Amino acid sequence: MSPISRWQRVVAVASILLLAACGKDDAASEVFSDADSPLRYVDADTPYLFAALEPLPDDIYEKIEPRMKQLMSSYQDVIRLSLLQSMEHDGDGEELSEEDQQRVTAVLERVLELFSSEGLREAGFDRESKVMLYGKGLLPVLRISLSDADAFEETLAAVEADAGTELQVAKLDDVTYRFGGDDNARVVLAVIDEQVVASIVPTGLSEDSLREIFGLKMPAQPMSKSGRLAEISKTYGFSAHGAGFVDFQKIVSTFTDEQVGVNAELLKLTDFDAEQLSDVCKSEIRGVSAIAPRLVSGYTEFTDERMASTTVLELRSDIADGMATLPALVPGLGGDHGGLFSFGMSIDLLAAREFYEARLDALEADPFKCELFAELQAGVAKGRAALNQPIPPIAYGLKGFVAVVDNIEGLNVATKQPPTEIDMRFLLATDNAPGLVAMGSMFSPELAMLGLKPDGKAVRFTSPMMQGPVEEAWVAMNENSVALAVGEDAEDNAGGMLAKQGSTPPPVFAMDMDASRYYSFVGDAITMRSDEESSPELNEAVQTLMDNLAALIDRVSVRVNFTDRGVEIPAVTTLKD
């Protein structure tokens, strides 16, 4: 798993705290349609929105909270040690003064107090706090309900005192707000009606636009009355624990259509002039944005055993229908294999060729005329040339693969010690497995001598190329797949892979991971590394963090499906008992 994917999982788990800091579970559509909900501050046509308006049920909170307390304490230690270590020198390599170090340390400790349920409560938040991030035009607005506005003000004042500096203060109607920044942009923050509202805005933004951002001027058509988010949650089964969208067409229209209000002022302040675009370019830009008009995402399940979410990139119907033909049926792909780690992919290469060819046909039949797409249009000829390159017919028969690592022993990432034992399985799906093996036999005498038959029976395979923990393998084949297994129960596993059923509809990509063991691996590797840039204390804190993640998360699974709606990515995180 890549570092990005790893930290995406860490962030996803950390987000439970925000949800846990927030009761009773009403139907999402009712919550999102409540005229008195915070959604009344959001324009119905906002370009993006994520809202977490329902707290976790008590039984889930009571199970998660103790382990989250340990986890967030670990985050505190890692962040504290990382920043204290890095602040020994600032970005220019100059040492910070003792006074500056004391101020940074004081602010750091104050902020780290928020990494706990107790700290959040003391800062004015509780389990009922509702969180929204949305666009007032393109500008981001964060709005969080408070249980105690005075406590929040006291916390903010304490941070300013620790820092030895205060945010500037201004008055807008009857509201006092804080701000800080430079000549280009500033952060604005206010406490209004038991809610904290924050945004990043251009420094010269007018008071009229600030009124809209703070909600002093309410939307003419609010999200709570439009039913837009309620309809999305109903369509995709999202809960009020967290759901949202990004409207790409709306974002693009900001730069192609005449704007009013906040967006008009924003474009003026950034010297953007839509009139520089020709009508042809505007039309074609709108057409491109219609290919993938919207991204939606939300939680679909929250129990004391697991949490599930779905993200969908919606596609234009002809594109979605074409892409839905690309996945291929691969035995075992999308199923639960258990073990340490499994992943696989599928694609019908012939269908992919036909889909690509159809896109080239469309570009030739109705070519782009806007100069901004000239390079894309010029690529049509290159695409045709690529399609004319000779490809072995057997390549079009390949459908995908599944790889399963059941167990690894003796692996030490820190010391680069390879595993002493490995149990794994691999399956390659194809239209003509005997033909593929026959072609491989031309390059491998050992494979040619196997006498492998398409009967599903495993045959022992050895080769001089095998070394280390893998000295022998078992290979099995039927008409449509070839499977290989090594390690414990390899003979049974090779034949067993062929007997697996493929998921319907077949996914394009599937990944399952024993997250508990994975985080334990990472923690052990960090403990044993010799990194002069990281102190032993920091390494120990990171290992503790990984151990706490391992104690919280059991397994993680992700699927990527091409459907008539677009690209759908369901994910499930199973929690430890």
Which amino acid type is present at position 80?
R
- Of the listed ranges 51-65, 82-96, 364-378, the least confidently predicted one is 82-96
Q: How are the residues of the chain apportioned to helix, strand and coil, as percentages rounded to the nearest 5?
A: 40, 25, 35
Lowest mean pLDDT among 67-71, 275-279, 308-312, 384-388: 67-71
Average pLDDT, integer, range 369-391? 93
Q: What is the pLDDT of residue 56?
A: 83
Examine the pLDDT at 480 and tell me if it is beyond 60.
Answer: yes
Cα 103 to Cα 125: distance, rounded to the nearest angstrom: 25
* pLDDT for the residue 356: 96
What is the per-residue pLDDT across 21-62, written as a single tens digit (0 to 9) for each? 333 334 688 889 888 899 999 999 999 999 999 988 888 888
CB 180 within 8 A of CB 168: yes
How many percent of the chain have pLDDT more than 90?
62
Q: How confident is the model at residue 10 (pLDDT cuts 50, 70, 90)?
A: very low
Neighbours of 30 (CB within 10 A): 11
Question: Would you give the end-to-end CA distance of the chain in angstroms?
Answer: 25
What is the average per-residue pLDDT within 299-323? Answer: 95
Name the token pair of 173: 């109607």
* CB within 8 Å of 451: residues ≥ 6 apart: 459
**In 3D, which of 144, 243, 149 has the Cα closest to residue 197?**
144
pLDDT at 89 over 60: no
In which region does residue 167 sit, left (phi positive, over 0), alpha (psi from -120 to 50) or beta (all else)?
A: beta
CB atoms within 10 A of CB 57: 15
Instruction: Name the residue type at position 386.
Output: A
* Segment 138-184, tens digit of pLDDT: 999 999 999 999 999 999 999 999 888 889 999 999 999 999 999 99
- pLDDT of the residue at 34: 85
Contacts of 477 (CB under 8 A, 6+ apart): 433, 434, 437, 452, 453, 454, 455, 456, 483, 498
Read out DSSP for 368-386? Answer: --SGGGHHHHHHHHHHHHH
Q: Read off the pLDDT band of 95 (50, 70, 90).
A: low
- pLDDT on residue 5: 43
| E strand or H helix that includes residue 575 | strand 566-575
Residue 326's pLDDT is 97
CA distance 250 to 42: 15
Q: What pLDDT sits at residue 465?
A: 64
98, two tokens: 């003792």
Q: Tell me, what's the pLDDT at 25? A: 38
pTM, two decimal places: 0.88
Residue 12 has pLDDT above 50, yes or no: no
User: Mean pLDDT score of the chain, rounded to an integer?
Assistant: 88
Neighbours of 4 (CB within 10 A): 7
20 within 8 A of 127, measured Cβ to Cβ: yes
Burial class, 149, CB count within 10 angstroms (exposed 0-12 / middle 13-18 / buried 19+): middle
**Whole-number Å distance between alpha carbons of 358 and 255:** 30
The pLDDT assigned to 413 comes to 64
Q: In the numeric block, which tokens belong to residue 360?
A: 């080239």
> Is-cis flag, bond preceding 419, omega within 30?
no
Q: Give the pair of three-digit tokens for residue 482.
A: 């070839």
- In this prediction, residues 516-540 reach a mean pLDDT of 76
DSSP 473-507: EEEEE-SSEEEEEESTTHHHHHHHHHHPPPPSSPP
Best CA proximity match to 413, nearest among 311, 321, 511, 517: 517
**Position 290 pLDDT exceeds 50:** yes
Per-residue confidence (pLDDT) for residue 498, from 0 to 100: 95
Question: Per the structure block, which two tokens stand in for 251?
Answer: 């974002």
